[in-house]
Chain A
């Protein structure tokens, strides 16, 4: 049975657009973000709204390919395509954009995008280790704060920041509880639904409402679980998904896995759990920028070198969610995740002793049947055929 609250999330997609447009009419400010590295706390402290703009749809890609090379990751092309085609209401609503120097493709695309809207790009260190990286990232936080304050002609106080940190931590905790509902065997909710809920939340500009919605959904799923209700049979293999970000419109692999009889219970990718694992330190004695920098720098993204945190997180999630197998998704032309697949395979197969499948694809439907063979064969393997 599908949780009733999911209907609310389905409708939210259109509703959110109205909320953003209303907010705009009331003179409120909107900041578009592209990645989990964007410090939403600073945006909130500036009294503005943050929306996630990562491109997860195929439609705008053709428009993007007029300016960008074809063999580029679909996420980058989709993000840029939305910007140039003016088809994304959230992009249109954004007063300014914030981005980070993550992978090369994004970095260079942002240069083109910055001609469309005012954009601030934060210089992300490539490594998480060492005082230097932390200090540099904290400094970048400061620079972004000043930039935003000037753009919006507001003052961003430490008090505002501390308040925003508490709010964002509450949101993270609510999201973690939502994810945790799938720990029950068999999972009371499909991976596709979980993905929709998580993804839709990114467009919800009213944080308190958003937290409430997520809490209601969680409560309902927990209730289903307590009654032993699940869309899956107890034998359905439990899958951990890792790799590139996945969202609505680019959920084909999740859908395929579940169509073929698996249950996707854990999302390690940055659209899932990656950015939730660590909260911002609320210690009032700690420098607020350092506290923020510590949290965001610790995100185990493949653009970091080395990126051991990803292995630790996969290990942790694999155990907590009692998964039977790991699927690693790479968007075509994403070099960082593609190359890391080598290390992940070795780790999953030899350290965790779990079956591992690496899939490389894009947002189009052209290879669904080929992917289906791989997925079915993999599930046969997991089930010991």
Chain B
């Protein structure tokens, strides 16, 4: 059975085609139209894999753009899709920490991967991918370089939580001649402290699974493990956890209808 999961985030759109244990995936920038991003990425992945759209028995959408997808069978929130996908990639439940473009979330699962509780950051951008993006721009580096630059550096203190104020703080640190790499380490620590502050309310978890775009940043990952005092697992397909979860929901849905 072939099913699809379409995760339209604020920054990136991720699509997964799922067939038995085979996972096909593709990521594209969301751009200005969540609907088009969802549809085009889905069709591009079909083309790449050689499947026909008619072969896809069920499509589930998730992410902030899920409401604008008119070609899907059902929408499920990213909370449940992320948990589902993360638990598929790393069995045994635990705590999922997802840092996305616009928001970050912590999801507590039982051993079977069922969601027990969750929290999300509120209105502000501290502790999100957006925060890192703004800081990288202020420092004149690309987000993809951050991890390498911050590696093994002693973090400088960044006090502001607010993205706008943190940006001016970073600029004044630069003006004072502070070390750029130490500033980046400080930014990473600020993000992880914020995120862990939110996630730690669930207490010690059996394992921590780190997903979302930011999970690719090894320095953030290490600092998160340090904050948490526990190992952090970042599955290779972590960025696709939401889309994968959606594809798994689609599979359930289709099987239910068949039976």
Contact = CB atoms under 8 A, between A and B. Distances in A.
Interface of A: 349, 355-356, 360, 366-367, 369-370, 373-374, 376-377, 380-381, 384-385
Interface string B76-104: 11111000000000000000000000010
A193 B115 CA distance: 32
Contact of B80 (A355, A360, A380): A380
Given A369-B64, A381-B115, A385-B115, A374 B120 contact: yes
29 contacts: A356-B117, A360-B122, A367-B122, A367-B123, A369-B64, A370-B120, A370-B122, A370-B123, A373-B64, A373-B77, A373-B78, A373-B79, A374-B120, A376-B77, A377-B79, A377-B80, A377-B115, A377-B118, A380-B76, A380-B77, A380-B79, A380-B80, A380-B115, A381-B79, A381-B80, A381-B115, A381-B118, A384-B114, A385-B80
Contacts of A384: 114
Nearest to B75: A376
A374 B103 CA distance: 12
Contacts of B120: 370, 373-374
Contacts of B123: 366-367, 370
Contacts of B122: 360, 367, 370
> Which one of B76, B78, B80, B122 has the highest number of Cβ atoms from chain A below 10 Å of its Cβ?
B122
Contacts of A356: 117
A356 B108 CA distance: 13
Interface in B103-146: 103, 114-118, 120, 122-123
> Which one of B76, B79, B114 has the highest number of Cβ atoms from chain A below 10 Å of its Cβ?
B79
Contacts of B117: 349, 355-356, 381
A13 to B, nearest CB: 31
Given A360-B122, A377-B79, 18 more contacts: A349-B117, A356-B117, A367-B122, A370-B103, A373-B64, A373-B77, A373-B79, A373-B120, A376-B77, A377-B77, A377-B80, A377-B118, A380-B76, A380-B79, A380-B115, A381-B117, A385-B76, A385-B115
A374 B116 CA distance: 13
Interface of B: 64, 76-80, 103, 114-118, 120, 122-123
Contacts of A370: 103, 120, 122-123
A385 B75 CA distance: 12
A385 to B, nearest CB: 5
Nearest to B103: A370
A376 B78 CA distance: 10
A385 B80 CA distance: 8
A370 B67 CA distance: 13
Question: Which 7 residue pairs spanning A and B have beta carbons closest together?
Answer: A377-B79, A377-B77, A376-B77, A380-B80, A385-B80, A381-B115, A367-B123
Contacts of B64: 369, 373
A74 B97 CA distance: 32
A384 B252 CA distance: 14
Nearest to A384: B114
> Which one of B77, B103, B116, B118 has the highest number of Cβ atoms from chain A below 10 Å of its Cβ?
B77
A210 B119 CA distance: 42
Contacts of B80: 377, 380-381, 385
A5 to B, nearest CB: 35
Contacts of A367: 122-123
A267 B79 CA distance: 27
A381 B80 CA distance: 8
Contacts of B103: 370
A129 B62 CA distance: 51
Contacts of A373: 64, 77-79, 120
> Which one of A349, A355, A360, A376 has the highest number of Cβ atoms from chain B below 10 Å of its Cβ?
A376
Contacts of A377: 77-80, 115, 118
A367 B121 CA distance: 12
A338 to B, nearest CB: 12
B129 to A, nearest CB: 16
A366 B124 CA distance: 12
A373 B63 CA distance: 9
A235 to B, nearest CB: 15
A86 to B, nearest CB: 31
Contacts of B76: 380, 385
Contacts of B79: 373, 377, 380-381
Contacts of B77: 373, 376-377, 380
A206 to B, nearest CB: 43
A383 to B, nearest CB: 10
Contacts of A369: 64
Contacts of A374: 120
A239 B139 CA distance: 48
> Which one of A349, A366, A377 has the highest number of Cβ atoms from chain B below 10 Å of its Cβ?
A377
Contacts of A385: 76, 80, 115
A288 B164 CA distance: 58
B82 to A, nearest CB: 10
A385 B74 CA distance: 13
B244 to A, nearest CB: 16
A360 B122 CA distance: 8
B254 to A, nearest CB: 16
A370 B10 CA distance: 12
B130 to A, nearest CB: 14
A214 to B, nearest CB: 37
Nearest to A355: B117
A376 B115 CA distance: 13
Nearest to A385: B80
Contacts of A349: 117
A315 to B, nearest CB: 20
A372 to B, nearest CB: 9
A287 B117 CA distance: 50
